[in-house]
Amino acid sequence: MPKGTTKRRPQTLARLLDAALEVFAESGFGAARIEDVCRRAGYTRGAFYSNFSSKEELFFALFDAHAERELERIGRLAAATQDHDLSVARIAALLAHIGPDERTWFLVTTEFTLYAIRNPEAAARLAEHDAKLREEAAGLLAGLLARVGLRPRGDLTEFLRVVIALREGALGQSYVEPGALEPGALAEKFLPLLVASVTEPL
């Protein structure tokens, strides 16, 4: 775990995270070396180990930062949307949105998921981070549904498993067939139907 704080630590962390994202996307989590991340960031191994205990911990820092940005994006856009402009289709579009840098994150998280499937301890830790993200997203989604006069018929965290499966499965197809399926298009098309099927009027 990071030890102590300095004025330069936030900058060091940011550079290490940016470098890790690039190296993990290029080489895959398994093949990427801590030395590669340090070299890309312009730091020594000492700088790495003063902030992270392992390559796995570095990935989870990336995971949490990405999750926080996504939740903030949805919350910010939702807050900027007037109630009369909010609809099931609009909610679905917020959930389906694919940013310009999503391909890089897709490569990183897919590689790590395969690594975690082969490593039970990493899988357990990934499951914890996934569960935390689903819980926070469920609260956000519940608020959006209430604004359009709907409530969930069941557990929203379970529904979000389906949303994530649709997003990630569709993204894989989009990146394999970029000319046939635009990223986010499949989720945006079918998510309104899914949202309607698991909600009812207040």
Tens-place pLDDT, residues 12-33 = 999 999 999 999 999 999 999 9
Residues 71 and 116 in one domain: yes
What integer pLDDT is reported at residue 6 of this predicted model? Answer: 57
Give me the mean pLDDT over the 33-51 stretch: 95
Has residue 196 got a pLDDT over 80? Answer: yes
Has residue 1 got a pLDDT over 60? Answer: no
| Domain hosting residue 48, numbered range | 1-53
Residues 32 and 121 in one domain: no
Tens-place pLDDT, residues 128-153 = 999 999 999 999 999 999 999 999 99
Please answer whether residues 24 and 108 qualify as being in contact, where contact means their C-beta atoms are separated by less than 8 angstroms: yes
Provide the number of structural domains found in the chain: 2
Calculate Rg over the CA atoms of the chain: 19
CATH, residue 30? 1.10.10.60
Residues 120 and 189 in one domain: yes
CATH, residue 117? 1.10.357
Whole-number percent of the chain with pLDDT over 90: 91
Domain boundary pick from 9, 25, 53: 53
Q: How far apart (Å, rounded) are the C-alpha atoms in residues 105 and 140?
A: 22
Has residue 3 got a pLDDT over 60? Answer: no
Residues 73 and 169 in one domain: yes
Residues 44 and 70 in one domain: no
DSSP-based three-state secondary structure for 88: helix
Please answer whether residues 150 and 199 qualify as being in contact, where contact means their C-beta atoms are separated by less than 8 angstroms: yes
Give me the mean pLDDT over the 160-180 stretch: 95
Q: How far apart (Å, rounded) are the C-alpha atoms in residues 190 and 146?
A: 21
Backbone angles phi, psi at 33, to 5 degrees: -110, 150
Residues 60 and 48 in one domain: no
